[in-house]
């Protein structure tokens, strides 16, 4: 699917057919958005721009030279956009190509930031004089969405902390949930750092409009704040994880303490029973009340051991 935003007679026009390129001048085109483009659509855009837009494989490269590069006439930039899922997050590669003031984006999945921006452009086209402005708006919205995700994770962390304080369902599954949240936090942080690197490279380029300098600088400050917040969230999760492990160890220690106490309490009666279980003559064996006396004696031994344990505060 292709969407072309261009100006004609001072008005913004949106077209969704590659056949429109034959009627257009590249300087009139504001934004070309490719969503899961076919080979024919991509080839048509390549011919119109005079540059080959990057493939998905190139957009997913992690090397710095592949994430941002420049030629004499074009800028190629790639970054990942997070897609929240029910359990974890997935990353979708998005490619940006600048030729003159025309922006071309290529992606394989629908993204909310793109959809919302397209509505804004149609509503107020005067706010978007060039493709660089469109790019800055996309990044603004993505930073805001990343901030929302970090805020949601902070609320989840607060809920986990509350459950720990109330000791609700502190078990292996709870520990695995915290681990998954740690993984999501690392993914969000990685995604934010990727945008920080992209915007920093864009500022260093001599092709982007200098009037966007302040906007990009503010964006970098916001990203730095988000990175610090993500780091704090990760440290907090580590603390919660250590707390859960400590509570689990305490429960296990209490169980072992109970088993140890029971074993020690039964040792004196067992010793007495062992003596009187031997096949040799022993005192009082011929007395009728001997059995009851032995039971009472063993009970007194158990009470004495329990008293010593309590006095020593060992139980």
Average pLDDT, stretch 38-45? Answer: 84
Residue with tokens 């984006």: 105
Average pLDDT, stretch 191-211? Answer: 85
The pLDDT of residue 42 is above 70: yes
What pLDDT does residue 315 have? 59
Average pLDDT, stretch 97-105? Answer: 88
3-state helix, strand, coil in the chain (%, to 5): 65, 15, 20
What pLDDT does residue 276 have? 66
What pLDDT does residue 59 have? 56
The pLDDT of residue 93 is above 80: yes
Rg (CA), the chain: 35
The domain segmentation of the chain, as residue ranges, is: 2-248, 255-311
The pLDDT of residue 79 is above 80: yes
Angle at 75 between CA 105 and CA 52, to 5 degrees: 65
pTM across the whole model: 0.73
167-171, 211-215, 231-235, 248-252: segment of lowest average pLDDT: 167-171
What pLDDT does residue 281 have? 66
Tell me: domain 2-248, CATH 3.30.460.20, correct?
yes
Average pLDDT, stretch 246-252? Answer: 77
Task: Give 112 or 274, the one with higher predicted confidence.
Answer: 112
Neighbours of 299 (CB within 10 A): 11
pLDDT-derived band at 126 (thresholds 50, 70, 90) equals confident
């Amino acid at each position: 699917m292709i969407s072309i935003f261009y100006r004609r007679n001072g008005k913004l026009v949106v077209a969704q057919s590659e056949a429109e390129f034959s009627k257009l001048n590249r300087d009139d085109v504001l934004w070309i958005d490719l969503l899961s483009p076919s080979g024919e659509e991509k080839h048509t855009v390549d011919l119109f721009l005079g540059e080959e837009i990057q493939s998905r494989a190139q957009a997913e490269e992690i090397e710095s030279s592949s994430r941002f590069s420049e030629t004499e006439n074009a800028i190629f930039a790639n970054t990942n956009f997070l897609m929240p899922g029910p359990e974890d997050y997935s990353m979708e590669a998005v490619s940006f190509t600048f030729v003159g003031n025309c922006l071309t984006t290529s992606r394989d999945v629908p993204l909310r930031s793109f959809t919302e921006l397209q509505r804004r452009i149609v509503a107020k086209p005067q706010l978007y004089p060039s493709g660089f402005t469109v790019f800055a708006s996309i990044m603004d919205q993505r930073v805001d969405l990343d901030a929302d995700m970090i805020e949601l994770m902070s609320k989840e962390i607060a809920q986990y902390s509350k459950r720990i304080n109330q000791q609700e369902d502190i078990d292996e599954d709870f520990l695995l949930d915290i681990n998954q949240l740690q993984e999501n936090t690392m993914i969000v942080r990685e995604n934010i750092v990727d945008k920080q690197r992209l915007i920093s490279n864009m500022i260093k380029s001599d092709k982007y409009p200098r009037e966007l300098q302040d906007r990009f600088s503010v964006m970098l400050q916001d990203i730095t704040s988000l990175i610090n917040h993500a780091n704090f969230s990760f440290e907090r999760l580590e603390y919660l994880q250590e707390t859960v492990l400590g509570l689990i160890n305490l429960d296990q220690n209490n169980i072992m303490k109970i088993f140890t106490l029971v074993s020690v309490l039964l040792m004196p009666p067992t010793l007495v029973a062992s003596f009187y279980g031997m096949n040799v003559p022993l005192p009082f064996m011929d007395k009728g009340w001997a059995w009851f006396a032995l039971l009472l004696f063993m009970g007194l031994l158990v009470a004495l051991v329990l008293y010593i344990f309590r006095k020593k505060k060992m139980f």
